[in-house]
Chains A and B, each alone.
Chain A
Amino acid sequence: MKRLKINGNSLLLVITIALFVVMYAAGCIVYADKGFTHLQTFLNVLINNAGLLCVACGTTCVMLTGGIDISVGSVVAMDCMLLAVGMEKWGMKSPVLMVLVLLIGIVFGAVQGFCIAYLDIQPFIVSMAGLFFARGMTAVICTDQVSIVTDQLFVKLSNTKINIPFGIGAYTNRKGVLQIPYVRVSVLVALLIVILVFLMLKYTKFGRSIYAVGGNSQSATLMGLDVRKTKLKTYVLGSFLASIGGICYCLNTMSGTTTQATGLEMDAISSAVIGGTLLTGGVGNVVGTLFGVMINGTISTLVKSNGKLVSSWANIVTAILLCFFIVLQAVLANIKERKKA
């Protein structure tokens, strides 16, 4: 029988999951009167962060190759603006626009990936230019806030409630009405993406070459892997998932503004880091990222439930957690090195 071995990296994942459980349990005890114990509060965290979850999956893949993509937040904003303006001002149908948005994501990723993989330019600089470009494009498309109201299909997609079957977590509220917990379409899309990316990373050749390239690109080349092609594909995947995230994000907000989703890229990166992905590449998992996103969401829900705290506390707590995980990663890595030496 294979014994489950806990090494440094899976230890990080265990800590992340444990932290999430402890944090949520603490919320349930402290804010029991504010409905924290209801299943719906948990599902709301998922609903609010569905877009972020898609984006973070892409970011995780990019970080696994040892690169970084800070343009994703702006890409989300550009997608939302394009969807909103397309439906409201240009009168285009939502399915056409969604396909268009995904195509733009692929092209965007391909250009960035080409610059990074084939021209050997630093990922940070390239994606910084991408960040500026996409953010500026939102203003080029339209300068004021646009809300989506006319497109029937999109509005319906946004409003659809998918009830949890078998009456799990159902309760009667104070007025005596039976409340059935629900999720939105975007949550299903996000969870599907988590599962698909997890399977892809684990079982496909492409997924495993991502780990190989991130772990040591020299030995990956010696093994006969096309490092440049793998990197290019990963950046395309990252931008593509960011575009899907953009659509999910838009389903939540139903509007497009120029300042939308600022700093989302850092939320995605911090989720991945909290989830145990190393920025040096080669180590990490989307399951960890899922819990990273959930921790981020739980922190802001906790701060909101308190009611007295200012929203900037959420940022500070996230930063402290981030600090904790980064230092922990560094200490584990240092111990490993000392063992080798």
Chain B
Amino acid sequence: MKFTSRDVSALLADVEGTQDLVGHACGSSIMNGFAFTWNGTNWQGTYHPQLQMPKGEDSVSC
């Protein structure tokens, strides 16, 4: 095994949060029309409205 270790202090100064990298199988979730993804510090969401027709005697299903 070839092992190397290098100082990345200068690079880390540019980074906010930790562990920003995620796999795209379950690093995200969708709740109530929001798609969330983990940015290393917070869950960041974008709203995607999912509109549905109400179902009842005075509505139609299409």
B is a partner of A: no
Instruction: Using CB atoms and an 8 Å cutoff, list the residues of chain B in contact with chain A.
Output: none
